Structure 1
Amino acid sequence: MRAKVLGLLLFVAGAATTAWSASRPADIAFHITMIDPGYGETVAVADINRDGKPDIVSGEIWFEAPDWKKHPLRQIDYTNGYIDDFSDLPVDVDGDGWVDIVQFSYFAHNIVWLRNPGASGSPWKVTEIDNSGPTEFAFLVDLNNDGKALELLPEFDRPNVPAAWFELRQGKWVKHVVAPRSYGHGIGVGDMNGDGRNDILTPQGWLEAPADLSSTAAWKFHLTDWGAKPIAPAGSSPGQAASAVEPVKLGYMHLLDINGDGRKDLLTGMAHDYGLAWYEQTSDGSCIQHVIDASWSQLHESVLTDLNGDGQPDLVTGKRYFAHNGNDPGEREPIGLYWYEWRRVSPTARTANHPGNGGVEWIRHIVSYGGRMGGGVQLVVTDIDGDGDPDIVSAGKSGLFLAENLTKRAH
């Protein structure tokens, strides 16, 4: 299935309505291809067979570029409406030059790595890394501060599971336990205190990285809810209460200075409710919630990347289809994939009933809406066709898709 989708501009809920200058980069057109109609929600991109072309991995299968021929990885249980694979991360674990895959399960409560058999064509060998508890999503991040995002950071979806990350040392995974419990739905990394070390972000606070990153080093927990609270869906009548999803469940958490005041802000969305928002850090360390878009729900994965080439990061994200099998707010509404850009403007005044704009204006671009392409629990932004511009690969219960960026082809 192929469709040409023009990038559509929509000013979003909570943003200013002034027009953008004529110098704003042009919108982006995409060609959308359904690679597979399957039910997996994970995706990774890597050169699996070392032919110089990026391939796609999703759950039980890897798809060989450029025609996306299917090759088996392993059989994964289908449980309660889910394929029990909630993240696929590409890493050369054993250092043999062939990219391996790390997978995270929810129902089986384990993390495994799959050894790439290389040219032999043998089955992929599965080795368990950990079996602490359920993982809803996980990321490759830089937590040993060597400049390489090769550490595993899982979001363990139970408070009684110790928070941890995993470091690759000479082909073995070393587990670093950073807290005796986990801190809710949502996770991220960033240098909160400016000491040059990446800390771990959670919906209930952040864990400060120590100078000594040995596996027994203590991480100090700083309590904060970031000012996050449930968001009423767009079109709600004035005063209508947001759905009471407490505590809030977030997706991936990005830390960056959004409004240029020198303080780190938080950018994230509601994973099982409505709303994408940014959280302005004030001079006293508290945070103010600014709603960016309240028109759709179930945001899990999001990627910060310069999609339009203007030198500033944009946010790529989308609606996860049937995240809780029809039981989340807005779960049966149309699926969509979007990217958001922002610019700094004059701040509007805060009042008792409105937080103001925080000095930022947001605009939403639609990659796909009302079809089958959404966000799943993973999406990847990379130049998959080698034409010099970033493309988007996403997976969900509605299928595996490639949104091919046509910018370079159009010139």
Structure 2
Amino acid sequence: MTDRVGRLVDGLAGREFVGDVCMLLDEHLERGDTAFLAAFGAALRARYRSDAEDGEHRYLFNRVLWALSTTPGRENVGHALRLGLAARSRPGRPLRRAAAVLAAHQPPEELAALFIPARSDAGAPDELRACLIHELVLRGAPVAALPEVVTWAAESPFWGNHPLAWLPWSLSPLEGSPDLPRYFSGGVGFSVGYGLTSGARLPSGSCGVVPSVRRSATEPALTAAVERWTLRHNGRVEAGIHLADEPVVPGAVHTLLASLPLACLAGLADPDHLLVATGSPAEAWRMLFAAASTGGGREDDWWYGAYGRLAAWRSLAGLSGAADGSSVTEVEQRAQACTWYGFLASTDWFNQDSLDFALLTLAPGRRRVAVLAATDYDGG
């Protein structure tokens, strides 16, 4: 096979059309001969590594890598990693992307072998393993029932000090069934998941006493889910904690919000141009997860599922006022005890595009008012 692959790769020099090679690769794939694809990919990379301008060679290599990554089988996972799935230069976070693609297409039992340190032939870094745990959790996989993963986590100093270790190994009721990207050959599809919360709209007039408020210090955890948005030239984020002198009654929420010294509401011409709707912690988590995992730029800038989950929980903790050091369960309990709203406004601050969202929470006692607003625009 080595000689045949070598002749095939050598024959690609100067060729502009490779349809027949694609058909040959597909035939081997249909027969389950992924070893041929792996050998072809390795030879292709070795022969044309320096020819960065040759689109046909890149196309064939990407085609092979995708076929190996998405065809179930631990040997195929090993082939893909040895070809550089977790070290590709185009995406900004190749390890995170590799974990997401593998978790989306490979059975958990096949990926469990990557957690056995002795299987160094697969070239699985610890960071890939860490991301894989929560990419699998997000897809409902029973990670805690995989002995290889459990053993690695118990014995690995890397995992013991890793930020992702804070997250539970199963989805909470609040997380539900997260909306995840769909990876396919040549691209990725995903929904946005922002906008106004879906609950009842609040009237613009005040139906109760609007208490005085004073601003408190901003908590860093508030903006965890949209941290990257501020790094883009067209991304904006505003967050803050406001303390009311008296409990805020539901009928006063709209007027209170409009009175806050927020940049996102500056220039509000009419109270009716501010839309406020009731929400829930589950809906807020979904927005925060979408913002952190796939929002704020192109795929090269994404945080992907594992770190997106972590950032969503951190922002939820900041919005709900959970104590430092709280577990995810404690954050969820605190979030359920809060009252949640979403809002959007016709001001110059918002882009009036699909990447706008804003949340307001009232903590138990209804005096702590937390606000997080974010906007971005992908077009330019």
Q: Same fold (TM over 0.5)?
A: no
Determine which structure has more spread, i.e. the larger CA radius of gyration: 2
**TM-score normalised according to structure 1 size:** 0.25
